[in-house]
Every structure is written in structure tokens, then in C-alpha cells.
A = this chain, B = another copy of it.
């Protein structure tokens, strides 16, 4: 069976050993409750890295005070089985007390890119993400890290951090994996009621409609966004938070949606917050 490592020192020793042997290390950082999206990351990592580390850590610093840290699903036994079957070699599951010891005071902040989109409703979220990812990179010391495109803003922010701080890790963004009806895989989908789950398929349908519009020659981002908003407004259980077309790296508004803009959306079914995106 695949080993679960919890000690930071032990994880570092294992990785140092691989480096010394010339073995390439890939990291898939997760919060556990793994689904097909994570598995796709692990499989991609296993194709290009000799040794695949999957971290599982429900990171307290990326949850806001009224968010779902406590109820976030923890299913390590199940995760272990699935990760092994997908080609993962080791699970790094550190303890919160070792990751954030008494007196902890250091945060990595990416300015600018963290202000718009999800940053507006989750002002401390990305600071928590970049801090824990910087820590994981320092502990695991991977050659390559594999992240989902589903969290498009997170991916852009982490790429910016890696470039700015000269962190020697290649970041690979991997395609969104979807349910048969198009809903993007997320550990939070399990919070949805049956009726919410049905309505949730509209998110991807609205993204596809946006791409059709752009493909058919619509150039004004506002028109595309209005169409998406119109479709989402048909869902009586869903509250839209934002629908925007942005530059995929800089996350700034793109007025003309033909040139590789990224349509991003976020909203809530009750307390369950969902995000999705599509490259136009």
C-alpha cells in the first residue's frame, strides 16, 4: 500500500533522496476528498514525473471565518485507495499544528491578481493558498506541480508567485474534468441537494453557449456576459456572484472576447459556492 507521510522532516528526507538519485518529483497538491479531477492530475503527473507526491491538507488559512472549513469532507482512507490506483507514489498529509506552529506569522501575498473575481468575496483566501503552496514546495521540493484549470484564478496566482519568487518548480495547468452533464468536478458538489445538482448543469451549458457566441462572431464581451447571466438567472436556487471575461494570466477585464479571453463565473447554491470557467 501507498505510504502516508505526515512529518515535514520525513517528507523532506524522502524528496531529498529522490533528488540525489536523479529521480524527478511531481506534486499534486489537494485538500483530499479526491474526485476524477484530482485523479486526472495524478495520472498526468505519473506520465511525466518518476515519483508522484499527492499532498492532502485541508488548509485552514485559505478558509474565511464563515466558510466550510469544519464541514469540508475528509475521506483519507478512500483517497488513499484512489490515489494509489491512479499512479501516486506517496501521500503527504501533514498535521495542521506542524504546518502552522505557535507564533506563525508569515504569509505570501500576490497583489493585484488576488483582488478581483473570487478575491472580492474571499479577501484572505488566496493569501492562504499561496502561503501553503509555498510551504509545500519548500517541503516536497518538486520539479513539477500539477494544478487544475478549474481554479483558474488560483492557477494564475500561483504561476505569478512562482515567477516572482524564483521558485524552481514548473507549474502545469490541467484541463477541467466534468461530470457527464458538464458540471465541473469539485469536492463541494457533494453538498448539493438533488434539485441544486440538477440546476448546476446550467453553469457549463452557459459557458458552452458563450463559446458558441464568440465562435459565431460576437466580439463584445458585454453581450456574451449578458447571455450567460440570462441563462443563470433562470436557476431559482442559484445566486450569481460574478460572470466576467478576463485575461487568463492577468485576470483583467477583456472588452473584446475573441482573443483568448477566459470566461469565469462564480455563485452559490445556498451555502455551496461553485466556480467554473471556459477559454473562449
Contact = CB atoms under 8 A, between A and B. Distances in A.
Interface string A28-47: 00000000000000000000
A107 interface: yes
A135 B165 contact: yes
A15 to B, nearest CB: 10
Given A106-B165, A109-B109, 16 more contacts: A12-B168, A101-B163, A103-B250, A105-B111, A106-B109, A106-B110, A106-B130, A106-B160, A107-B108, A107-B109, A107-B111, A108-B108, A108-B109, A134-B165, A135-B164, A135-B166
A112 interface: yes
A86 interface: no
Interface in A108-136: 108-113, 130-131, 134-135
A165 B109 CA distance: 13
Nearest to A19: B19
Interface string A133-149: 01100110100000000
Contacts of A103: 160, 250
Contacts of A101: 163
A266 interface: no
A208 interface: no
Contacts of A130: 106
Contacts of A163: 101
Contact of A8 (B107, B113, B166): B166
A173 B126 CA distance: 33
With most chain B CB atoms within 10 A of its CB, the pick from A108, A131, A139, A250 is: A108
Most buried by B among A105, A112, A163: A105
